[in-house]
Amino acid sequence: MSESIAAGVPAARRRARVRPVTQDSPFARYALIATAIAFLSLFLLAPLAVVFYEAGTKGAAAFFEAFQDPDARAAIRLTLLIAAIAVPANLAFGLAAAWSIAKFSFPGKSLLITLIDLPFSVSPVVAGLVYVLLFGSQGLLGGWLTAHGVQIIFAVPGIVLATIFVTFPFVARELIPLMQEQGSVEEEAALTLGASGFKTFLTVTLPNIKWGLLYGVLLCNARAMGEFGAVSVVSGHIRGLTNTIPLQVEILYNEYNNVAAFALSVLLASLALVTLGIKTFLEWRHADALAARGRRH
């Protein structure tokens, strides 16, 4: 996107005596660049830097001690478990949705796509609340669940459901436009040559969408591990049992245990940095294998 235009402006042009009419004056250019860098440093880079700084204020020993705490370890395990369930669930859904929407034509398609995008326009807190209304003790199914000894709210199943809800569109919305762009000519050829439907998917479709798939899974995973609002509503904050890493960060921070809170945050911030890194790499190296990007989220 941005690279193509910027690359088209050779540095030598700056030395040209007459400034092209499509270029801003050097003063405007430097003022705008300085404004952008200052704004991004203040609002994006400083918050990121302070996470690492605060985690290290009491030295390395205090930093690593935060990970010895049984509650912190339980939170890390739970977060990994939640992501291990939510991401494959939404991956399977994303593949099914993209296959049916991109490879076939049927009425009501755009409505279906809008509905798939719906969780992105719902506040995380509301996402948690709807599950409380459904499964909580005063919820629609609450009485039946209690009678059968099943607990969903204030337990792991509720956290999984809330996480699935907030990460629901990530894979699907990456794959649908990508597979729509690619059409189904290659699949039709494979099928005509006698390949089974499943083999066609594995050997023709999957190689075509692998980078887009990875991109979607990456974003889905980052959100699944970092979700706070929705999970906070359904978790009940039971230490060692229903606290994910972000919830544990909140508890530690509210107890003025800054080093431990920021040490766990370093874990999440590193995940975010790795996600951004791979994402940038995919956009740079495999841009043509990703869905064309207008609006990203």
User: Residue from 58, 208, 258, 286 that binds another protein (CB under 8 A)?
Assistant: 258
Applying CB under 8 A, does 24 fall inside the site for another protein? yes
User: Residue from 171, 246, 259, 260 that binds another protein (CB under 8 A)?
Assistant: 246
Q: 99: which residues sit within 8 A by CB, 6+ positions away?
A: 179, 201, 205
Nearest distance, CB of residue 286 and another protein, angstroms: 15
Applying CB under 8 A, does 25 fall inside the site for another protein? yes
Applying CB under 8 A, does 293 fall inside the site for another protein? yes
User: Residue from 56, 157, 229, 240 that binds another protein (CB under 8 A)?
Assistant: 229
Applying CB under 8 A, does 139 fall inside the site for another protein? yes
Q: 169: which residues sit within 8 A by CB, 6+ positions away?
A: 116, 117, 118, 119, 120
Closest CA to 112 of 126, 125, 98: 98
To 10 degrees, what angle do helices 258-285 and 46-55 make?
140
Question: What's the CA gap between 272 and 275, in Å, rounded?
Answer: 5
Q: Is the distance from CB of 227 to CB of 162 less than 8 angstroms?
A: yes
Site for another protein in 272-291 (CB under 8 A): 272-273, 275-277, 279-280
Q: Is the distance from CB of 135 to CB of 112 less than 8 angstroms?
A: no
Nearest distance, CB of residue 287 and another protein, angstroms: 12
Nearest distance, CB of residue 44 and another protein, angstroms: 5
Using CA atoms of 21, 24, 26, 31 in order, give the dihedral in degrees to the nearest 10: 170
Applying CB under 8 A, does 152 fall inside the site for another protein? no
Nearest distance, CB of residue 260 and another protein, angstroms: 11
Applying CB under 8 A, does 161 fall inside the site for another protein? yes
Applying CB under 8 A, does 29 fall inside the site for another protein? yes
Question: What's the CA gap between 294 and 297, in Å, rounded?
Answer: 9
Q: Is the distance from CB of 218 to CB of 278 less than 8 angstroms?
A: yes
Q: Whose Cβ is closer to another protein: residue 146's or residue 280's?
A: 280
Site for another protein in 178-197 (CB under 8 A): 184, 187-188, 191-192, 197
Residue 128: φ, ψ to 5°: -70, -40
Applying CB under 8 A, does 15 fall inside the site for another protein? no
Distances (CA, A) of 69 to 59, 95, 228, 248: 17, 39, 21, 11
Applying CB under 8 A, does 109 fall inside the site for another protein? yes
Site for another protein in 45-104 (CB under 8 A): 45-48, 50-51, 54, 92-93, 95-97, 99-101, 103-104
Q: What does the radius of gyration of the chain's CA atoms come to, in whole angstroms? A: 24
Nearest distance, CB of residue 127 and another protein, angstroms: 8
Span near another protein by CB under 8 A; candidates 62-70, 144-152, 208-216, 229-237:
229-237
